[in-house]
Amino acid sequence: MKTPVILLVDDEESIINSLRGSFEDEGYIVLCASDGHKALEIVKSQQVDTAFLDIWLPGMDGMETLKAIKDYDAAIEIVMMTGHGNVNTAVQAVKQGAFDFLEKPFSLDAAIDIIKKIKEKQQAPSTEGKTAGGGLMEEDNLTLTGETPDITAIKELVPDLAASEEHILVQGEIGIGKETLARLIHGSSKRKSKPFLKLNCALYGSDDIEAELFGLRKGGAEASKKGSLKEATGGTLLLYSIDALPIEVQKKLTDYIAGAAKSKSSGARIIAASIRNIEEALGMDLLDQGLLDCFKQTVSMPSLKTRRADIPMLLNQFIGHFCKEYGFREKSFDDDALETLVNYDWPGNIKELKNLAEKLVVSVPTVNISSQDIPVSVRDEMQYRMSRTYDRYATMEEAEAAWRKNYLLYHLRKNERDIKKTSEKLNIKEKNLKKYIKDYNIVIAQDRESEMMFQRTLKRSMVLSGRGLHSGDKTGLILTPMPPNSGIIFGNISSGDTVQANIDYVISTEMATSLKNTSAVARTIEHLLATLHAYRISNLMIKINNEVPIMDGSSVDFCKIIEDAGIEEQDEPLDEVVVNKKYTIGEVSKKNKFITIEPADTFSIHYTLNYPKPVGRQEFTFILDAVDSFKREIAPARTFGFLKDIEALTEKGLADGGRLNNFILIDDEKIVNTDLRFPNEFVRHKILDMMGDLYLLGRPIKGKITANMTGHTENAELVRLLRDKMNLAAVGIA
């Protein structure tokens, strides 16, 4: 019986290690990935029976990974792993095809019980271990479909390969049709009346594979069953992943082949398959040269993306087969859908194409399959992102000019704005480069920070876990880079709904700033937005479960995650909000709440706080001259509240379930639960909140702010006032 293969996907090493040890003790093969993209690579490169996915994954989150895996192979059972507070998301995952979910912390026994339930469900015989007979469409319509030169050349080889008795090595990517070729060779040979067996060497441990091949148990005793080589006597044995065989077993297989050739016995003809480059396998000592020499014939199968002209023919074949199998009327593709599928790179090759065809037959209720029916994981996502940019240009000339401008900007920045050096690197005349700079209004500044800014995003996706302000539940966020002109977007990890970080979507400024757009909600956004403001991150997708985690009540963790990700400057300018006159909210007086902003050469905030003791009167002026000043003077300042309001704080989640560790608690005389990071930490935190709220404009500000006793409500009013008075257009795509 084939050993079940389990894929663990989590970025917490402790979770991976504990699960892997328990599952391996139960005799399962365990594969591991730290993010969704790596998980999908594994699924597309080898057999996986069950996957355990964490909800909060860096890069492609758990819900996206679930969908992508199911789109590729619906037979893989998925178990979602979730923290408290994300159970609703996990339930949504079950509705979208997950087998079950486990709430962290969970017992290892519970995880093993779920695997046993999955095994009970998966009673159908495996097609990836040692099997005989045909697979899907292999018996009824066994053929290498296609008319492109590469596949035609392979088809022309089949008669000669079938007539030969030589062992064959077939190379090619996963899902490319290596088994179909092997069956064609077997079925066209004089061995066709004898068994055709296949054995995937990668699915067995080093102690078991020898027994599967030679019928020997541990210690060398005779087995009670035949090995694959003996079972396939007179026929053909397809060995998948030949490079996964232990070297000592490879040497024994070499001796077997040599012995059979010497005795001229009609043993099994071996067709070995590998997705790994043979030279690479030899260099890594994964393949024995002696065994390689046994294969006199070598065939390299072309990938599907190198034979795109065959894709429509393959689609018609698969769609026709599945419509007949499920009893549906014949379905067809519209032009846009077919174009999308032909241009997709198909990393899983024909196997992925066949799986998608079955999914479309079952899931699309109409006879016409449109581009909207194609799963998002298959669509060319970059093309959709680029369309947002291209739609801005009315003509080809405008688009070409924009491309040239960005190209020149990139190389000028790369060469430190040195015109002579840039012209030499680009092999154009210096006078021509100067003309381009003039024509495209490119600003060459000695001090770019003060004269010209460019849009920014992160270099890679990041994930952060914490607790919510309102709920106190464990939650998290995933930061994903976005292309220029996208803006800051909050996305719901469960539903996929989004809301732009824009003043138009503010629904609450009580205790914290919250956004809503239809069904998308983003609460407690100000600390994260303040950090993005300081680092000038202008394009970012922030996936949350309705609420940004409050962490320790400050922005320290947000600074760290941005620096861990790295900042990527993009080839589009970032327009500052340069305040042109004085604007005021409220009546300017020491006794009143008010906030003013007026022209200045920098961005600064002077805030006055006047609370009863032990807070007292606090004033602080902050100038954002560099991100280091924000990290040092503002980011560490934490949220604060008063003991007399503890009941209201608890209801709002500020008390974090009673643990009192995500804000500063104050009674009538002293700080109750912590030491202050600054003597005037309270006023610094007010500045932190204001920086976040002001970034709802989506761009940095150049102006001097003076504020007295204001909060989120007044901050939002100032943002609206600036937007209206200065005619500021919305930033972003949502």
**Same-domain pairing of 43 and 147:** no
3-state SS, one letter per residue, for 640-683: EEEHHHHHHHHHHCCCHHHCCCCCEEECCCCECCCCCCCCCHHH
**Same-domain pairing of 698 and 598:** yes
Q: How far is CA 661 from the centre of its chain?
A: 32
Using DSSP bridges, classify how beta strands 454-458 and 567-573 pair: parallel, antiparallel or unpaired.
antiparallel
Is the entire prediction scored with pTM above 0.75?
Answer: no
> 713 near 690, Cβ under 8 Å?
no
**Same-domain pairing of 348 and 216:** no
Pull the structure tokens for residue 140. 């009824």
Does residue 149 lie in a domain region?
Answer: yes
Q: Which of 19-23, 60-64, 730-734 shows the lowest mean pLDDT across its residues?
A: 730-734
The tens digit of pLDDT for each residue in 613-670 reads 888 999 999 999 889 999 999 999 998 877 666 555 555 544 444 445 577 888 877 8
Helices 247-263, 206-214: inter-axial angle, 10-degree rounding: 10
**Same-domain pairing of 149 and 285:** yes
User: Choosing from 167, 186, 533, 712, which is the catalytic residue?
Assistant: 712
Q: Which residue has the higher pLDDT, 323 or 413?
A: 323
Alpha-carbon distance of 197 to 199, in angstroms, equals 7
Find the mean pLDDT for residues 231-244: 90
Does residue 501 lie in a domain region?
Answer: no
Does residue 558 lie in a domain region?
Answer: no
What is the pLDDT confidence band of residue 128, given thresholds at 50, 70 and 90? very low
**Same-domain pairing of 14 and 114:** yes
475: pLDDT strictly greater than 80: no
Which of 250, 274, 302 is the last residue in one of the domains? 302
What is the pLDDT confidence band of residue 538, given thresholds at 50, 70 and 90? very high
pLDDT at 79: 92
The tens digit of pLDDT for each residue in 19-38 reads 888 888 788 888 999 888 88
- Considering the chain, what is the average pLDDT of its residues? 82
pLDDT at 655: 47
pLDDT at 158: 93
Does residue 565 lie in a domain region?
Answer: no
Alpha-carbon distance of 347 to 72, in angstroms, equals 10
> 664 near 671, Cβ under 8 Å?
yes
584: pLDDT strictly greater than 70: yes
Question: Phi and psi (nearest 5°) for 629?
Answer: -65, -35
Q: Which residue has the higher pLDDT, 600 or 446?
A: 600
**Same-domain pairing of 389 and 375:** no
Q: Which residue has the higher pLDDT, 106 or 573?
A: 573
**Same-domain pairing of 361 and 244:** no
Q: Report helix, strand or coil for 111.
A: helix
**Same-domain pairing of 176 and 277:** yes
Alpha-carbon distance of 410 to 509, in angstroms, equals 40
Pull the structure tokens for residue 266. 């009609």
Helices 430-439, 419-426: inter-axial angle, 10-degree rounding: 110
For residue 102, the domain's CATH number is 3.40.50.2300
Q: Using alpha carbons, select from 203, 207, 288 the residue that is nearest to residue 216.
A: 207
Alpha-carbon distance of 385 to 133, in angstroms, equals 46
For residue 408, the domain's CATH number is 1.10.10
501: pLDDT strictly greater than 90: yes
Q: How many H helices and E strands in the chain?
A: 26, 31
For residue 212, the domain's CATH number is 3.40.50.300
For residue 646, the domain's CATH number is 3.30.1700.10
- In the block, residue with structure tokens 């004269």: 451
Which of 452, 467, 496 is the last residue in one of the domains? 452
Does residue 631 lie in a domain region?
Answer: yes
Find the mean pLDDT for residues 680-700: 95
**Same-domain pairing of 105 and 236:** no
Does residue 472 lie in a domain region?
Answer: no
598: pLDDT strictly greater than 90: yes
Find the mean pLDDT for residues 348-354: 88
Does residue 79 lie in a domain region?
Answer: yes
711: pLDDT strictly greater than 90: yes
Length of the chain: 734
pLDDT at 712: 95
pLDDT at 131: 44
For residue 329, the domain's CATH number is 1.10.8.60
**Same-domain pairing of 292 and 168:** yes
**Same-domain pairing of 109 and 236:** no
> 592 near 725, Cβ under 8 Å?
no
519: pLDDT strictly greater than 50: yes
Which of 358, 379, 400 is the last residue in one of the domains? 379
Does residue 463 lie in a domain region?
Answer: no
Alpha-carbon distance of 119 to 23, in angstroms, equals 14
Alpha-carbon distance of 78 to 92, in angstroms, equals 13
Catalytic: 186?
A: no
Domain that holds residue 282: 131-302
Q: How many domains does the chain have?
A: 5
**Same-domain pairing of 613 and 673:** yes
What is the pLDDT confidence band of residue 454, given thresholds at 50, 70 and 90? confident
Alpha-carbon distance of 516 to 505, in angstroms, equals 5
